[in-house]
Structure 1
Amino acid sequence: MVTNLLGLLLLVGLCGLDGVLPMVPSDAAVLTAGVLGHEDPARVPLIVAATALGVFTGDHLAYGIGRGLLGSWLVGRSARVGRAVGAVHARLERRAGPLIVASRFVPGGRVTVNLACGTARLPLRRFSPASAVAALAWAVYITGLGYAGGAAFAGNPLLGIAAGFGLSLTFGGVLELIRRRARPRTGRTSSGETIFAVGPGA
């Protein structure tokens, strides 16, 4: 029981840190938990809940950084970050909810959009519900990939984890391809900067 609790707390921590440090391997941790969850399906809802809580917390960490002085410093320090955040600002008034949810599934999108929501001082009454939807959707998605990998390779958890990674990369690649194809119409600002242009991952 202690090990299980510690594992769930670890998921919360990793997914929270991933909200401000994209290099944190939260995807790997959740995929692994999903694969192992195949051996005890009763734990899967707990894995989803811990993951969603961590993502929700991480989103608000980035939002808080963006809303404070550190956010202004980060945006001003890099022209590239400033252009990306500025592009998000232009879309927040009408499409904040869908943008926040979609950004969770686009490489580099989560940190950029949440930071922009903070710098634009988007009200929490608009930010938090969208963040909750995005957190739960991603938690179900990534845990489900791990669980499917565990089911397909019940005798070899490592293969299950690899299969989950493969599916995740494929889905991410498809989204990136769609984003790149749509870029000339909707993905560019006047300066040519795409809105999801910061960071190596979500």
Structure 2
Amino acid sequence: MDEIALTAGALYVIVLLRAGGTFAVGWLAGAGARRSRFAGRVSSAKFQRAERAIQRWGAPVVAVSFLTVGFQTAANFLAGSMRMPLPRYLPALFVGGAAWALIYTTAGLGVLEILERLFAVRTALGVAAVAVFLLAVCGVVVYRRRGAALSSGDTEAGES
């Protein structure tokens, strides 16, 4: 039980620092944009309506973003750049971060426990499982890179 609490606590601190840092970078980027050549776009009525909506309703989006893969960073950055007030952002960060830490703790430790048992009982099967996992990851990476190369080649061909 101590192992789970320690892991969850460490992951919680990590996610608070990472997401809070992303929010801060977004806040600074938004402040910079307001002083740059984009200031006219940032001060448009449409942008200001979007900013007010994020400030008012963005907290649930930020909290739920911790349950997604890939959207979390964007949600925290946008919350910062759109200047979501801290009294709305921080509860979303704390709740969403806790959910993220618990999910990753239970799933991560569960996978490690399964691998530990597999290696103890059947080492060859454990090695094979890790090898299949690594091959699958490599396959996904190659597939995505080829897809990206093909789509960038299509846009270059379309522009010619």
Which sits farther off after the overlay, 50-59 or 89-98?
89-98
Deviation per CA, 1:64-111: give whole Å up to 9, x if none.
Answer: 1111147745xx9xxxxx9xxx7x747424432210111122232111
Identity within the alignment, %: 21
**Pairing partner for 1:129 from 91, 96, 102:** 91
Greater share of helix = 2
Please say if residues 103 and 109 of structure 1, whose CA atoms lie closer than 8 Å, have aligned partners that are also in contact.
Answer: yes
SS of alignment partner, residue 68 of structure 1: helix
Alpha carbons 2:67, 2:99 under 8 Å: kept: no
Q: Gaps (5+ residues) in structure 1?
A: 1-40, 77-81, 166-202
Q: What is the RMSD of the two structures over their aligned residues, measured on CA atoms? A: 3.3
Q: Which whole-Å CA distance do the structure 1 matches of 2:29 and 2:111 have between them?
A: 43
Relative to structure 1, is the Cα distance of residues 70 and 124 closer, same or farther in structure 2, using a 3 angstrom cutoff?
closer
In the aligned structure 2, how far is the partner of 1:153 from the partner of 1:66? 39
Calculate the TM-score normalised by the size of structure 1: 0.46
> Aligned runs of 1:151-162 on 2, under 5 Å?
151-156=113-118
Q: Residues 69 and 56 of structure 1: is their aligned pair in 2 closer, same or farther, counting only changes over 3 Å?
A: same
- TM-score with structure 2 setting the length: 0.57
Change (3 A) 1:64 1:42: same
- Aligned residue pairs total 113
From the CA coordinates, give the structure whose radius of gyration is larger. 2
| Structure 2: tracts of 5 or more residues without a match | 37-41, 120-125, 134-160
The corresponding residue for 2:145 is: none
SS of the residue aligned with 1:106?
coil
